[in-house]
Structure 1
Amino acid sequence: MATEHPSHEPGKKVPKASGLLRSSGVVGVMTMLSRVLGLIRDMVIARYFGAGAGADAFFVAFKIPNFLRRLFAEGAFSQAFVPVLSSYRTTESLSDVRRLVNAVAGTLGLVLLGITLIAILGAPAITTVFAPGFTDDAEKFAMATDMLRITFPYLLLISLTAFAGAILNSYDRFAIPAFTPVLLNLAMIAAAIFLSPMMQEPIMALAWGVLIAGALQLFFQLPFLMRLGLLPRPRVDYQHEGVRRVLRLMMPALFGVSVSQINLLLDTVLASFLQTGSVSWLYYSDRLSELPLGVFGVAIGTVILPNLSRKHAAESPEHFAKTVDWAIRAILLIGAPAAIALALLAEPLIATLFHYGEVVERDVIMSAQSLRAYSAGLLAFMLIKVLAPGFFARQDTRTPVRIGIIAMVANMAFNLALIFPLAHAGLALATSLSAWLNAMLLWRGLKKEGAWRRQKHWLRFLLQLGVANGALVAIIIWLKSPVDAWFTMTGLQRTQEMTVLVASGVAVYFVMLVASGIRLRHFRLN
């Protein structure tokens, strides 16, 4: 009797798997749309609320569930669930896959509901833990606590959204999960513009916008799960073999894959002790550094995880190592120029995006300092996104955990060493240094285990990158106006100037890549 598999149901034509380059492009385009709207969202927040006490309080209240979402849902859960689901898809029947999905949905939902209720009741204690510096300012502390009670249920909603997205990604439906964050940005923009004037405390509108966005994102994905025949019917079953495997992989993965997020949160904790505005300066610079990280690093990491999981399940180590090598090269191709551009254009970028309304020149200068510090670690952040799946696809969570703990301890040491001379920028630089340590240890581990093997022409590839990035640096330095000039420009003039800089830099970089011999076909991989 034939086994029924969801990837090839009777009577249906088997779809050809998309190439990794094409799939990464789809995710990248959708993520770019989300990130651009995210920048517009932050511009609106900056214009309406600036970098004062209310903005600091909101960013903390938003960062706590957002951090837990990245740590728990998109981090540990996805990295544990996708390999298990891919294994079931490869070796089990469709009915077995459905039972796994139902059991995980019910178990995950119950755990998240309990965490959410505890967090709402204990909001003052959580605020004290994550922003202890706020306790000296009763008004700021109260605002952060009130907003946290509104924003924390977002964790429940967005974690279930990540669960739905993980199923879609496992079946190579990458576009819908990548588009979903657009709804968060639209909801928050609408809340800032239309809801805040109706509120006694206008900043509270943003908290309600976050909650509304969580519901929108979850319900948006459900019809696509229904189309796959995998709409969950939640059932609590801790004894299900697949659930136990997911939980077993999740516990150590909480530390392994999301150590960079823990480090960023530690920045917020320490920044709460610094002068008012420090949390906001770090937030704005982090948002800019996350644009290339999300568009390219997360996109490639999202695509290769189910691909690597299937190759591991099919016992194809040679193709596994080749895929990891492809991902590293793709990250270097995009990450290196992105990091250089952020460092050279820190003040112009922040002035163009945020120097309106309540954001003054000093806010731009201070945010630029931390942006340069984050840019120093951008390539490492991106590499972590593609190196960690090399372990999780093989259901090895112990190695990333050990490496994550080393990096986290190092980050605290760097924080203490750099916060006094560099203030908030020192916190950002510490995060970058620990990210490099994390990335290098992950790479060494994959190399040692044979999960990454150097493919042909690496030296030539690095020389080609060096030439192209050198040309990028030259064109930016030649075209960029002095920092003071950006403060006197109108918003339209800044936008025009930045457009010329970005377009010229992109054109010169890719022309030099082509001139040095790199072609698109070199990055096609199934």
Structure 2
Amino acid sequence: MLRKILSVGGWTLLSRVSGFVRDVVLAAVIGAGPIMDAFAVAQRLPNHFRAIFGEGAFNAAFVPTYTRTRARDEGGAGLFASRIWTLMVVIQVALLAAALVFMPAIVRALAPGFAEDPARFDLAVTLTRITFPYLFFITLVTILSALLNAHDRFAAAAAAPVLLNLAIIAALAVGFLFPGAGHAAAWGVFAAGVLELALVWIAARRAGIMPALARPRLDPAMRGFFRTLGPAVIGSAGVQIALFADTIIASFLPRGAVSALYYADRLNQLPVGVVGIAAGTVLLPEMARRIAAGDPAGAHAAQNRAVGFTLALALPCAVAFVAVPDLIMKALFARGAFTEADARAAGAVLAAYAIGLPAVVLIRSMLASFHARADTATPLYASLTAVGVNVLLKIALMGPFGAAGLAFATSAGAWVNILLLAGLAYRRGWTAPGPTLARTALAVVLASLVLALVTLGARGPLTGLLEALPRWRDEILLAALAALGALTYGGALAAGARLLGVRLARR
């Protein structure tokens, strides 16, 4: 299982690195002004719908149902997949047609503050019409990716997001062919949808699991799918409502607030995607198979290993984002149209996001306790409770703290969500954190504290040593702190694990 996580995480890491290059190019070419605000809204809208109707809800309903059906009847599982494929194609075509017609109203609802700036509003509408078809392609990608994952084929699905970053970079490189840089980036998103679908389509055909068009029928498998899909959609929508609230509220803040949230969230998503989502992607079919085979103890052992692995890789990222967020933003993005003031603003948002990072990376692994048992209702209640806390805090904090207040509210909501999920799963006996997991968590926390102390203590002296450099001071300082931090954390974690007797291979 850990090899699979590393495989998915490796591809996701490549995706995030190429995404970082994409964001560096966006920052240099577009900056953090009104054009970037418009593109951020245009890109976020199809991603919101994808998360609601695609990755989150669909995987939660499809993977367990498909796994159970396949265990009984391989042919019946293929027919079930074909019926779902046909149904999703029809739904997405209808949704796309409606969205293209009503796009001004949709953008006005998503970013009402843009209405006070007609030029920014019109640009956001135009760019969103270009990017929205990405939702159609990526939903089909999600179905094929779920099928591939259910057959233990993870590479193509994990590699597909790399194409989004490469397509946007390529489009910006030939930006002179478009009316503006924002238009170029939007068409890059559109092209990426086509490329991603082609990649997983080829992988599914080679694996012999490509679904065909089939008339949907309400057989037991379809009824089971829809029973779990409804709560999953609402639960996924709850998380996206919080993100919608970010965009809506930020549109009333000064120019650049939406951009600051975008750039900070992109960095925050690095450990979320590489570690948290990778672990959840592999863990769900693993737990579903073990539970279907009557081995809940094995499912819980797999979950404990995934949680320990996730914490060990994600917590040092949170430490870095809290300790030196301004330096990270300056070193990575402060060039071209992206100013030092933009870096400071985005750094404050990054630190606020980082407070909730441990909770965010663990949510997918904890959701597997419920989704593997086809329970999507309980996560719905936890999600909606967390969203309520999130949105109330956003309203309270937007005035005094601006975009950073919105990010802190997101972090608070994530902690409410994970604590509710963990408590409910433990009470039902659907998770069983053993002594090794407790010792692993303690070792990770102690190593992270040592990392924080070393990072904060070393920044001042290293800054003094580099003061005479005319250029690249921030970049070299960040690289030096990263190298020192990696050595410190690795050594402290190894020492703590040895002291506490941790062996991650055991339950």
TM-score bracket for the superposition, by shorter chain length: over 0.9
Judging changes above 3 Å, is the alpha-carbon distance between structure 1 residues 489 and 414 closer, same or farther for their aligned structure 2 residues?
Answer: farther
What's the counterpart of residue 420 of structure 1?
A: 399
Deviation at 1:458, TM superposition (A): 4.6
Q: 1:367-516 maps to which residues of 2 (within 5 A)?
A: 367-481=346-460, 492-516=472-496
Q: 1:89-168 maps to which residues of 2 (within 5 A)?
A: 89-93=70-74, 95-168=75-148
Deviation at 1:498, TM superposition (A): 2.0
Judging changes above 3 Å, is the alpha-carbon distance between structure 1 residues 403 and 120 closer, same or farther for their aligned structure 2 residues?
Answer: same
Does the 8 Å contact 2:150/2:285 carry over to 1? Answer: yes
SS in 1 for 2:497: coil
* Correspondence for 2:182 among 200, 203, 212: 203
What's the counterpart of residue 281 of structure 2?
A: 302
SS in 1 for 2:336: coil
CA distance in 1, matches of 2:180, 2:379: 43
Does the 8 Å contact 2:311/2:358 carry over to 1? Answer: yes
What's the counterpart of residue 30 of structure 2?
A: 49
Deviation at 1:231, TM superposition (A): 1.1
Deviation at 1:461, TM superposition (A): 3.0
What's the counterpart of residue 33 of structure 1?
A: 14
**1:334 maps to 2:318:** no
Deviation at 1:236, TM superposition (A): 3.4
CA distance in 2, matches of 1:395, 1:59: 34
Deviation at 1:490, TM superposition (A): 6.8
Judging changes above 3 Å, is the alpha-carbon distance between structure 1 residues 483 and 156 closer, same or farther for their aligned structure 2 residues?
Answer: farther
Deviation at 1:98, TM superposition (A): 1.7
Judging changes above 3 Å, is the alpha-carbon distance between structure 1 residues 432 and 349 closer, same or farther for their aligned structure 2 residues?
Answer: same
Does the 8 Å contact 2:304/2:433 carry over to 1? Answer: yes
Does the 8 Å contact 1:355/1:364 carry over to 2? Answer: yes
Deviation at 1:525, TM superposition (A): 7.1
Judging changes above 3 Å, is the alpha-carbon distance between structure 1 residues 238 and 139 closer, same or farther for their aligned structure 2 residues?
Answer: farther
The one-letter code matched in structure 2 to 1:176 is A
CA distance in 1, matches of 2:184, 2:83: 36
* Correspondence for 1:76 among 43, 48, 57: 57
Judging changes above 3 Å, is the alpha-carbon distance between structure 1 residues 351 and 431 closer, same or farther for their aligned structure 2 residues?
Answer: same
**1:177 maps to 2:160:** no
SS in 1 for 2:104: helix
Deviation at 1:491, TM superposition (A): 6.7
SS in 1 for 2:181: coil
* Correspondence for 2:234 among 246, 255, 261: 255
CA distance in 1, matches of 2:502, 2:444: 17
Judging changes above 3 Å, is the alpha-carbon distance between structure 1 residues 397 and 225 closer, same or farther for their aligned structure 2 residues?
Answer: same
Does the 8 Å contact 2:11/2:158 carry over to 1? Answer: yes
* Partner deviation per Cα, 1:195-234 (whole Å, 9 max, x = no partner): x212223311111100000000001111211122111212
Judging changes above 3 Å, is the alpha-carbon distance between structure 1 residues 250 and 425 closer, same or farther for their aligned structure 2 residues?
Answer: same
TM-score relative to the length of structure 2: 0.95
- Superposed CA RMSD in Å reads 2.1
The one-letter code matched in structure 1 to 2:180 is E
Does the 8 Å contact 2:306/2:365 carry over to 1? Answer: yes
Judging changes above 3 Å, is the alpha-carbon distance between structure 1 residues 510 and 87 closer, same or farther for their aligned structure 2 residues?
Answer: same
Unaligned runs of 5+ in 2: none
Count of residues paired in the alignment:
505
* Partner deviation per Cα, 1:368-423 (whole Å, 9 max, x = no partner): 11101000000111111111121111000110111111111111111111111111
Deviation at 1:504, TM superposition (A): 1.7
What's the counterpart of residue 10 of structure 1?
A: none
Judging changes above 3 Å, is the alpha-carbon distance between structure 1 residues 22 and 436 closer, same or farther for their aligned structure 2 residues?
Answer: same
* Correspondence for 1:523 among 492, 501, 504: 504
Does the 8 Å contact 2:308/2:441 carry over to 1? Answer: no
What's the counterpart of residue 209 of structure 2?
A: 230
The one-letter code matched in structure 2 to 1:165 is S
**1:193 maps to 2:193:** no
Q: Which moved more, 1:378-387 or 1:462-471?
A: 462-471
CA distance in 2, matches of 1:366, 1:489: 25
CA distance in 2, matches of 1:436, 1:381: 8
CA distance in 1, matches of 2:386, 2:77: 36
* Partner deviation per Cα, 1:331-364 (whole Å, 9 max, x = no partner): 2222222111111121111112110111111101
CA distance in 1, matches of 2:112, 2:161: 30
The one-letter code matched in structure 1 to 2:159 is F
What's the counterpart of residue 5 of structure 1?
A: none
Judging changes above 3 Å, is the alpha-carbon distance between structure 1 residues 520 and 282 closer, same or farther for their aligned structure 2 residues?
Answer: farther
Judging changes above 3 Å, is the alpha-carbon distance between structure 1 residues 84 and 146 closer, same or farther for their aligned structure 2 residues?
Answer: same
Deviation at 1:153, TM superposition (A): 0.6
Question: Identity of paired residues, percent?
Answer: 35
Does the 8 Å contact 2:60/2:376 carry over to 1? Answer: no
CA distance in 1, matches of 2:390, 2:462: 31
* Partner deviation per Cα, 1:423-453 (whole Å, 9 max, x = no partner): 1110000010011000000000110110111
TM-score relative to the length of structure 1: 0.92
Judging changes above 3 Å, is the alpha-carbon distance between structure 1 residues 523 and 175 closer, same or farther for their aligned structure 2 residues?
Answer: farther
Does the 8 Å contact 1:475/1:505 carry over to 2? Answer: yes
Does the 8 Å contact 1:260/1:381 carry over to 2? Answer: no
Deviation at 1:472, TM superposition (A): 0.8
CA distance in 2, matches of 1:300, 1:171: 16
Judging changes above 3 Å, is the alpha-carbon distance between structure 1 residues 312 and 264 closer, same or farther for their aligned structure 2 residues?
Answer: same
The one-letter code matched in structure 2 to 1:147 is L
* Partner deviation per Cα, 1:226-275 (whole Å, 9 max, x = no partner): 12211121223142433332222111112324643332221111000100
* Correspondence for 2:248 among 254, 263, 269: 269
Unaligned runs of 5+ in 1: 1-19
Judging changes above 3 Å, is the alpha-carbon distance between structure 1 residues 520 and 57 closer, same or farther for their aligned structure 2 residues?
Answer: farther
Q: Which moved more, 1:492-501 or 1:302-311?
A: 492-501
CA distance in 1, matches of 2:473, 2:153: 40
CA distance in 2, matches of 1:200, 1:70: 30
Does the 8 Å contact 2:28/2:333 carry over to 1? Answer: yes
**1:320 maps to 2:299:** yes
SS in 2 for 1:250: helix
CA distance in 2, matches of 1:215, 1:363: 33
The one-letter code matched in structure 1 to 2:23 is D
Deviation at 1:501, TM superposition (A): 1.5
The one-letter code matched in structure 1 to 2:116 is D
